[in-house]
């Protein structure tokens, strides 16, 4: 069935299986293996198939930016490798219309002993450019990568950040119709990250098709036109980024709540032979890096929901709409003097609004019950359009950080308003003409 001209990628009933072989054997030595080989005795090898993808159907229109979501091992990277032609499907069909460029594994296709300049030429040709085109664009690629004199050094001497910058520069200067990205939407340090995001914006403005795999749901909601959620090799949901990300978050939180098991992350002991101390990870809520979630976790904020006036969970709201921040907590021991803070922060880090139970003089039970719910109600959000984070912190006595979640809960604000700044206060414009002064009337008569 031919693909529609408006479709960049059409995937129909795709199954991808991998063969896994297992040889059952006991402990052996070189001598025993040699004797087996001389006698013609062979170990029985068991073959079985592992289905990485199971009946995938997905159509990606031209000019769309599509985010692929899913847990590790769900089949996201396998799907990208099928689209780029690295793998072939076990069954089903994939049609790709247009020149394709991919950023998959770090430095894939680079020869470690060749210089950056030589690898640009080789990779450019692999990605579909002629030798003349690759040479013509060489200076632009080098300038964008900002590698300077390192461009003539072997790439085995490059840091991982330099690898990324070179790979991103080559892939984006091929001028592809379709760009495939796996987990490297933002590349390198803060400066180069801004450049790479600006390049992505330029690609979108030119009507290029972009397919990206990422665990950053905020990036998907901010950058993508549509999203697809893959789970255990099957597509669970295709739709708008806000809808798919919300359903994915709910599924992850539900799975975490169902597996509330303490997991020791480290055992710490000093040289004096003191007893080992177990450091616990949070057992509820999102699992994240220490930069995004930290604390003693004697109390955990187990669930954070952003709700509309009807109690419906939302990932996007209008400036004029009300918003309710709902916090569920789990206290693992009797705690007194606990207070909670909520911070609204713009995606560039600017803190817009901070409030807390202590400042509001909300008296919480002391000690807190084992479980409970707190709600912050805003009758009108009042933020101007943009992408924001809602950060939450639970603190104990002497401001002990019990659970601090930063950059994990995204909120998109939309509005038809064309105003600038951060907030939109309630306001109205009015006009009253002044009575004309005698001098003004005299001048008017003279002019007339």
Closest CA to 66 of 180, 169, 172: 180
Nearest-angstrom CA–CA distance, 39 and 136: 63
pLDDT greater than 80 at residue 197: no
Q: Is 33 helix (H, G, I), strand (E, B) or coil?
A: helix
> Mind spelling out the 3-state secondary structure of 279-300?
EECCCCCCCCCCCCEECCCCEE
Of 295, 286, 313, which is closest to residue 215 (Cα–Cα)? 286
Q: Which of 62-71, 104-113, 273-282, 318-327 has the lowest mean pLDDT?
A: 273-282
Weakest-pLDDT range from 33-42, 183-192, 301-310, 425-434: 183-192
Least confident of 48-57, 134-143, 194-203, 355-364: 194-203
Name 250's Cβ contacts closer than 8 Å, sequence gap at least 6.
313
* Cβ count near 346 (within 10 Å): 16
* Res 39 pLDDT > 90: no
Tell me the three state secondary structure of residue 260: coil
Q: How far apart are CA 105 and CA 78, in angstroms?
A: 12
Write down the mean pLDDT value for the chain: 80
- Please tell me the predicted confidence (pLDDT) of residue 215: 79
Tokens in use for 230? 């893959």
Region of 75 please: left (phi>0), alpha (psi -120 to 50) or beta.
left
Beta strands in 29-72 (DSSP E): 45-61, 65-69
Average of pLDDT values for 82-94? 90
Q: Is there a cis peptide before residue 367, judged by omega within 30 degrees of 0?
A: yes
State the pLDDT at residue 12.
93
Q: Of all residues in the chain, what percent carry a pLDDT higher than 90?
A: 24
294 touches 404 (CB < 8 A): yes
Q: Domain-by-domain residue ranges, the chain?
A: 7-249, 282-414
Residue 208 CB partners (closer than 8 Å, separation 6+): 63, 176, 177, 178, 179
Q: For 383-403, what is the mean pLDDT?
A: 90
Least confident stretch, 13-22, 248-257, 364-373, 405-414: 248-257
pLDDT at 1 over 50: no
Q: What is the pLDDT of residues 278-334, one digit of tens each?
A: 345 788 888 887 778 888 899 999 999 999 888 889 889 999 999 999 999 999 889
* Three-state DSSP class for residue 216: coil
**Residues 112, 123, 224: CA angle, nearest 5 degrees:** 110
Specify whether domain 7-249 bears CATH 3.40.605.10.
no
3 state DSSP class of 44: coil
Residue 91 has pLDDT above 70, yes or no: yes
Q: How confident is the model at residue 426 (pLDDT cuts 50, 70, 90)?
A: confident
Distance CA 428, CA 251 (A): 43
Question: Which range among 195-199, 396-400, 422-426 shows the weakest confidence by mean pLDDT?
Answer: 195-199
- Both tokens of residue 178? 């379709």
Give, rounded to a whole angstrom, the gap between the first and last alpha carbons of the chain.
78
Are 216 and 347 spatial neighbours (Cβ–Cβ below 8 Å)? Answer: no
The pLDDT of residue 273 is 39
Distance, CA of 382 to CA of 390 (rounded, Å): 15
Place of tokens 């597996």: 259
Which residue's structure tokens are 């590698």?
147
Q: Which of 170-184, 288-302, 377-391, 411-425 has the highest mean pLDDT?
A: 377-391
Structure tokens at 258: 């169902």
Distance of alpha carbon 335 from alpha carbon 370, whole angstroms: 9
Q: What is the pLDDT of residues 228-249, one digit of tens each?
A: 999 888 998 898 888 888 788 7
Is the pLDDT reported for residue 268 higher than 50? no
Question: pLDDT class for 378, splitting at 50, 70, 90?
Answer: very high
Cα–Cα distances (Å) from 88 to 125, 196, 276, 303, 334, in that order, read 22, 30, 51, 41, 57
Of 323 and 99, more confident: 323
Using alpha carbons, select from 262, 260, 255, 230 the residue that is nearest to residue 244.
Answer: 230
Show Cβ contacts of residue 420 under 8 Å, excluding neighbours closer than 6 positions.
384
pTM for the complete prediction?
0.54
Q: Which residues contact 73 (CB under 8 A, 6 or more apart)?
A: none
- Does residue 339 surpass a pLDDT of 90? yes
How much is the pLDDT for 279? 40
Q: Which tokens hold the place of 214?
A: 């990422």
Statement: residue 107 has pLDDT above 60: no
Between CA 104 and CA 109, with CA 107 as vertex, the angle to 5 degrees is 85
Fold entry, domain 282-414: Coagulation Factor XIII; Chain A, domain 1 (2.70.50)
Question: Residue 437 — very low, low, confident or very high, per pLDDT cuts 50/70/90?
Answer: low
Pairing mode, strands 65-69 and 209-213: parallel
Residue 394's nearest CA partner among 250, 294, 290 is 294
Q: What are phi and psi of 10, to 5 degrees?
A: -125, 120
């Amino acid at each position: 069935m031919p693909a529609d001209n408006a479709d960049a990628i059409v995937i129909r009933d795709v199954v991808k299986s991998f063969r896994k072989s297992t040889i059952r054997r006991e402990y052996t030595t070189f001598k025993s293996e040699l004797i087996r080989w001389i006698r013609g005795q062979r170990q029985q090898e068991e073959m079985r198939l592992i289905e990485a993808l199971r009946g995938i159907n997905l159509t990606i229109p031209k000019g769309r930016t599509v985010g692929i979501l899913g847990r590790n091992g769900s089949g996201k990277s396998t799907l990208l490798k099928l689209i780029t032609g690295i793998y072939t499907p076990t069954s089903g069909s994939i049609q790709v219309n247009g020149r394709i460029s991919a950023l998959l594994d770090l430095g894939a296709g680079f020869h470690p002993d060749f210089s950056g300049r030589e690898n640009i030429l080789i990779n450019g040709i692999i990605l579909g450019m002629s030798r003349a085109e690759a040479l013509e664009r060489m200076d632009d690629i080098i300038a964008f990568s900002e590698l300077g004199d390192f461009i003539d050094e072997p790439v085995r001497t490059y840091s991982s950040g330099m690898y990324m910058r070179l790979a991103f520069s080559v892939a984006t200067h091929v001028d592809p119709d379709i760009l495939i990205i796996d987990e490297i939407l933002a590349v390198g340090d803060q400066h180069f990250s801004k450049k790479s995001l600006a390049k992505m914006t330029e690609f979108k403005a030119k009507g290029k098709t972009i397919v990206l795999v990422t665990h950053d749901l905020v990036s998907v909601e901010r950058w993508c036109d549509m999203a697809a959620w893959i789970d255990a090799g099957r597509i669970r949901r295709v739709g708008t980024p806000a809808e798919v990300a919300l359903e994915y978050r709910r599924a992850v939180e539900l799975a975490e709540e169902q597996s509330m098991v303490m997991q020791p992350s480290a055992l710490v002991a000093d040289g004096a032979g003191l007893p080992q101390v177990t450091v616990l990870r949070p057992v509820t809520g999102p699992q994240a890096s220490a930069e995004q979630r930290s604390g003693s976790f004697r109390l955990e904020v187990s669930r954070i929901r952003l709700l509309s006036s009807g109690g419906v969970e939302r990932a996007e709201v209008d400036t004029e709409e009300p918003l309710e921040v709902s916090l569920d907590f789990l206290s693992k021991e009797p705690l007194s003097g606990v207070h909670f803070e909520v911070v609204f922060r713009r995606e560039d880090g600017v803190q817009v609004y901070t409030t807390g139970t202590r400042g509001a003089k909300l008296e919480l039970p002391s000690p807190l019950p084992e479980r409970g719910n707190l709600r912050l109600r805003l009758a009108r959000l009042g933020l101007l359009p943009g992408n924001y984070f809602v950060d939450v912190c639970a603190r104990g006595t002497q401001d002990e950080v019990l659970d601090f979640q930063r950059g994990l809960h995204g909120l998109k604000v939309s509005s038809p308003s064309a105003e600038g700044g951060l907030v939109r206060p309630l306001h109205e414009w009015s006009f009253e003409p002044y009575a004309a002064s005698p001098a003004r009337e005299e001048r008017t008569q003279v002019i007339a």
